[in-house]
Structure 1
Amino acid sequence: MWCRGTAGLARGSPDAPGLLAMVEAFYGRAAAMVEAEAAAGVAGAQWDRLPWVRGLLETIRRCSYVLEVAFPLRRDSGTWEVVRGWRAQHSQHCLPCKGGVRFSSSIGVDEVKALAALMTYKCAVVDLPFGGAMTGVRIDPKKYSEHELEKITRHFTVEMSKKGFIGPGIDVLAPDVSTGEREMSWIADTYTHTLGYRDINAQACVTGKPISQGGIHGRHSATGRGVLHGIENYITNTDYMDCIGLSPGFPGKTFVLQGFGKVGRHTMKYLHQYGARCICVGETDGAIYNPRGIDPKELQDYEQVKFSSEGSAPCCQAGSSGVSCSFQSHGTIVGFPKAEPYDGSILEVPCDILIPAAIEKQLTRENAPRVQAKIIAEAANGPTTPAAHEIFLQRNILVIPDVYVNAGGVTVSFFEWLKNLNHVSYGRLSFKYEWESSYYLLQSVQHSLEQWFGKSRGEIPIIPSPEFQARVTGASEKDIVYSGLAYTMEQSAKQIMAMAARYNLGLDQRTAAYLCALEKVLTVYNEAGFTY
């Protein structure tokens, strides 16, 4: 279950600051450390360098633009209501901006600005040429019909288009909480057939689309796979594992997962494949526990069957048998027969790896002393408050920060954006050529060996290994996407670790990640300057 320790905390209290205050606190820590070194590195300045750098850091910190929209919606019942939403562009140091679309009844402008800032830092950490952005629409999507949600999505898209807050070279949207391929397809179609009708690249105004609408294979599971690689790059590092007293590698490790949504279920699947054992899973309506391990496929099948049998899915309500409920993601894990109900806080379950993959501000000053994990991988945005962060450092717990480990989704979104701009899928121009080249290479080796040893010895067949055969004949767009994601996460981890060593930060990987982001954004402003 969600951490009970935060239920009674007021918004904005010292231990439960708003998400924007949290992001700015982490930013401030890194900015103070980079200030002196960045000041010394500004080239060609004819004035005091320190004020110049401080001005740049303040420019990076603040959100550049916020669009607030309010428009009327006629419900299916005939009643009217006003829908409010925001699109924040935190930084335009690189264009286009990039960020998700969240439907939530509790979202507000400060949270939108905070998530946009996180996107700026996240993109910089993994070397993506985007500024950060975010959209929040204040609705509870469960209370609206599909027709009403489509009207809201399309209307909001038109409003953003009129104000220049969407476009393949301006601002690119993506899925977030309570949005997915369906909503992204509506957005792309609306933009393409309205203000973007003259833009040949209009389809690139949004990522996370269905494959038929220009999406990319591997996007659906990208964030979860990014979490896997993020953990992998640390858990296989002997220096960091020695610091926290854990043996390197996944096999035999136990992990606890908070949140079994789009990110959580794929994270659980991949860690299970790599040999780790999930012992506890928590959702909004309950938690389950099995010290021998929980199989992710069995749990997902149970959740979907349970959901379908209750007839609560939209397709069940509509009486349509042609739509599979297996694509729904709002079932329940409660009652899973191969695990026991768990009534305590799952954040305090003894384990090797704790993965908060749900909502913000779950790890606080109140519960941080009772966390018994060695590694915390922040698959959600902003799950740890600054006070909890300090406690984890004191307790020698390795926290892999959200601005790095949560970056798999936006990385693959970048690949989709490039695919849309290129108007061709990955590998279409090269798969067959590469397969034939590999075949001719093997054939050439075989002929050379036969000539060297003589025909009297008969043929010397060159038989490719199963791994080589699979790589050559079984390559797909998904293979290329997964390879690019793994490489990106690996290189970014090396940069963060190098930054931590440079500033002697020890296990404080969050500050190291923010330092990486700030230095990259500072470099852009220092080299490109400002338009006016």
Structure 2
Amino acid sequence: MFRKIFKHVKKLPFSTPKRYVHEIPEHVKDVETAGNPPFSAMVQYYLHRALQVAEGDLIESLKRHPRWSEEKRKKRVKDVIKMMTSIANIIEINFPILRNSGEYELITGYRAHHCLHKLPLKGGIRFASDVDRDEVQGLAYLMTLKCACVNVPFGGSKGGVRIDPKKYSSKELQSITRRYTIELLKRNIIGPGIDVPAPDMGTSQREMAWIADEYMKTFGYKDINSMAIVTGKPVFQGGIRGRIEATGHGLFKCLEQFVESKEWMDLIGLKTGFADKNVIVQGFGNVGQHACTYIVPAGAKIIGIKEIDGSIFNKDGIDPFDLQDYYTHKKTIVGYPKAEAFQGELLEEPCDILLPCAKEKVITAENACTIQTKIIGEGANGPTTPAADKILQERNILVIPDIVCNAGGVAVSYFEYLKNINHVSFGKLTKHRDKEVITHILKSIQDSLKGANIDVEINPHDDLNYIMECSTEADIVASGLSLVMESACRGIKETANRFALCNDLRTAAYVWAIQKIFLSFEGQGLSL
């Protein structure tokens, strides 16, 4: 099933690159050198920078319309670019809740829709004290690009509520979540065929279960697909196994595609493979924690972790399973010496792989010159500013961008969405049949050999045994995620080589996404 989703990947109708001068808008021109640019402007700058590479190719692709003049092709591309670089809509809502103290508090929430080239839209909901219109808008841009990059048929959206969830009780958070849901539903902003939220910073399965329950008991009580209102739900409420660790797992699979490539490791002077590579993780939340559980068994060593309240360090490598105890209880790890203090900032310590997995704009022009790593895997959304990105490229540090590294979550969210609208779990109908087919094929071969007087017993080897048993929902999801990340990374590598972008993987990833968004828009028969 998953292979059918990506069968079109190598069939994009683009020919030899031809460069045109795409104008970067005035409001984002200064972003390239800004120390702390607005987040939305930062993402838009990356998008326009990639359009400088891609625009000529988009114009060339329209030669499939032989009666169109060159001028008409250019105009068509520019008009589609206008839609691609604009927010479709963004809403700010304010509503009161009753605190446990008996006082009322006015809560502010947001939801942004970026690109409507595909429906439904997809984007998380974050609860954080610094959520604002600019951040939500920028994250909506990223979601569009992220979905296109990994070939998931969603448009991009994002939402948030401006609160510090640690300062509210569970009862208060439930009131906020349900009221926020109702406010969006009243405006027809979210829905299984409109916009499907998911967890983000400050939210989890719990909040998604509250949203689904609120929808099913109000606006969605007649909707057979009501369970698909959100993804990232608990498994017993229509969620999917593998969703919690999906973003961290996807980050690992993405790193693997480059770390195991001799071509790309030769470019930065590293040996292939994870063996003996030192890793520093900035942000040990859901993404960083689960990424570690895959990276360490692959042979890498976690030598440093930075949390909001400090860092921990062990020269012999840190076991992520022990780190889970640290993350949960905030105490010294059993069996390891007391955490050593770094001399200076953690991000500037020597390592082979640096994983920023917390928030945006943690790598800036101020620290980009002193970062001592060979590879940066952006597990967070927008952790690198354009000014820092330029410095890192000049220093030959390979930056694997967020729109692919952080896309594991939305890929598995798509699988959950399919499960909800198909109303059946993956593997439930085919598990025993697939195993029986393989067993009978082996028996048939054995019987045929016996008929030719060759008396041998044919037994499945370990790899075939694994395939025979790999039929649970979790196994199928993990297999599908691997295919998604391999396909996306292959496309990014080919784009980087085709446009001679060298180590600028961010532009390559954006161009790879832009081409597919453009095809979707242009193929809809829009009257431009």
TM-score (norm: length of structure 2): 0.90
Cα distance in 1 for partners of 2:32, 2:126 equals: 22
Q: For residues 38-67 of structure 1, what are the alpha-carbon distances to aligned partners after superposition, in whole Å with 9 as ceiling and x for unaligned?
A: 123223546533233222212111110112
Q: 1:83 to 1:292 in 2, by over 3 A?
A: same
Q: What's the CA shift string for 1:401-439, capped at 9, x where partnerless?
A: 000111000000000000001000001110011111122
Equivalent position SS for 1:528: coil
Aligned partner (choices 100, 113, 118) of residue 94 of structure 1: 118
Whole-angstrom CA distance in 2 between matches of 1:374 and 1:488: 25
Spell out the pairing of 1:65-80 with structure 2 (5 A cutoff): 65-80=89-104
What aligned pairs does 1:208-227 form with structure 2 within 5 A after superposition? 208-227=232-251
Correspondence list, 1:105-116, <5 A: 105-116=129-140
Question: Which residue number corresponds to residue 148 of structure 1?
Answer: 172
Q: Distance in 2 between matches of 1:303 and 1:67?
A: 35
Instruction: Write out aligned runs for 1:187-198 (5 A).
Output: 187-198=211-222
Q: 1:38 aligns with which of 38, 58, 68?
A: 58
**Match for residue 161 of structure 1 among 185, 199, 221:** 185
Give a deviation string over 1:130-157, Cα, whole Å, max 9, x none.
Answer: 1100011001111111111101101111
Q: Quote the Cα distance in structure 2 between the aligned partners of 1:419 and 1:524.
A: 24
1:17 aligns to 2:37 (yes or no) = yes
Kept after mapping to 2: 8 A contact 1:287/1:333? no
**Separation in structure 1 between the aligned mates of residue 359 and residue 332 of structure 2, nearest angstrom:** 18
CA RMSD of aligned residues (A): 1.8
Structure 1 position 332, deviation (Å): 5.7
The 8 Å contact of residues 253 and 275 in structure 1, kept in 2 or not, is answered as yes
CA shift digits 1:287-312 (9 cap, x unpaired) = 011121011111212443xx2xxxxx
- Matching of residues 400-479 of structure 1 within 5 Å: 400-453=400-453, 460-473=456-469, 475-479=471-475
Change (3 A) 1:493 1:402: same
Distance 1:332 1:123 in 2: 38
Partners of 2:295 and 2:338 in 1: CA distance: 19
> Which residue pairs with 2:520 in the alignment?
524
Alignment-derived partner of residue 312 in structure 1: none
CA distance in 1, matches of 2:335, 2:98: 41
Structure 1 Cα separation of the partners of residues 347 and 106 of structure 2 = 38
The residue type paired with residue 25 of structure 1 is Y
Matches within 5 A, 1:277-292: 277-292=301-316
Is 1:294 aligned to 2:310, yes or no? no
Please give the alpha-carbon distance, in whole angstroms, between the structure 2 residues aligned to 1:357 and 1:237: 23
| One-letter identity of the residue aligned with 1:206 | V
Letter in 2 for 1:373: T
Distance 2:159 2:337 in 1: 39
Distance 2:53 2:440 in 1: 56
- Matched position secondary structure for 1:453: coil
Residue 341 of structure 2 corresponds to residue 342 of structure 1: yes
Residue type at the aligned position of 2:364: T
**Quick one: which amino acid aligns to residue 172 of structure 1?**
V
- Which ranges in structure 2 are unaligned for 5 or more consecutive residues? 1-30
1:321 matched residue in structure 2: none
**Aligned counterpart, 1:359:** 359
Give the CA deviation at 1:334: 8.2
Paired with 2:92 and 2:333, the residues of 1 have a C-alpha distance of: 39
Q: Which runs of 4+ in 1 moved over 6 A?
A: 333-336
Q: Which amino acid aligns with 1:264?
A: G
Work out whether residues 70 and 83 of structure 1, in 8 Å CA contact, stay in contact via their aligned partners in 2: yes
CA positional deviation for 1:19? 0.9
- CA gap of 1:378–1:336, structure 2 versus 1, over 3 A, is farther
Gaps of 5+ in 1: 1-10, 308-330
Q: Distance in 1 between matches of 2:202 and 2:243?
A: 16
1:504 aligns with 2:500: yes
Q: Secondary structure at the match of 1:88?
A: strand
Aligned equivalents of 2:34 and 2:228: distance in 1? 42
Q: Are residue 389 (structure 1) and residue 389 (structure 2) matched? A: yes
How far, CA to CA, are the matches of 2:338 and 2:499 in structure 1?
Answer: 45
Q: Output the amino acid matched with 2:420.
A: N
Specify the alignment match of 2:6 in structure 1. Answer: none
1:25 CA displacement: 1.1
The alpha-carbon distance between structure 1 residues 383 and 332, as it changes in their structure 2 partners (threshold 3 A), is: farther
Contact 2:470 2:476 in 1 (8 A): no
- CA drift of 1:36 comes to 2.3
Partner residue in 2 for 1:273 = 297
Say whether the 8 Å CA contact 1:66–1:86 is kept in structure 2. yes
Counterpart of 1:171 in structure 2 is 195
**What is the rounded CA distance, in whole Å, between the counterparts of 2:222 and 2:337 in structure 1?**
55
| Structure 2: distance between partners of 1:54 and 1:92 | 17
Q: Residues of 2 paired with 1:398 and 1:30: CA distance? A: 17
Do the aligned partners of 2:280 and 2:304 also contact (CA within 8 Å) in 1? yes
**Aligned residue for 1:242?**
266
Counterparts of 1:338 and 1:431 in 2: how far apart (Å)?
A: 47
Residue 333 of structure 1: how far off its partner (Å)? 6.5
Q: Could you say if the C-alpha distance between residues 524 and 366 of structure 1 is closer, same or farther in structure 2, counting changes exceeding 3 Å?
A: same
Q: Would the aligned equivalents of 1:99 and 1:119 in 2 still touch at CA under 8 Å?
A: yes
Alpha-carbon shift at residue 392 of structure 1 (Å):
0.7
Query: Corresponding residue for 1:5?
Result: none
Give a deviation string over 1:177-224, Cα, whole Å, max 9, x none: 010000000001111111111110010110000001100010010000
Q: 1:507 is paired with a residue of what secondary structure?
A: coil
Letter in 1 for 2:495: M
Shift, 1:335, TM fit: 9.3
Separation of aligned partners in 2, 1:235 and 1:12: 29
Structure 2 Cα separation of the partners of residues 410 and 195 of structure 1:
25
Report the alpha carbon displacement of residue 339 of structure 1 after superposing the two structures with TM: 5.2
- 2:398 — aligned with what? 398
CA–CA separation in structure 1 for the residues paired with 2:483 and 2:183: 38
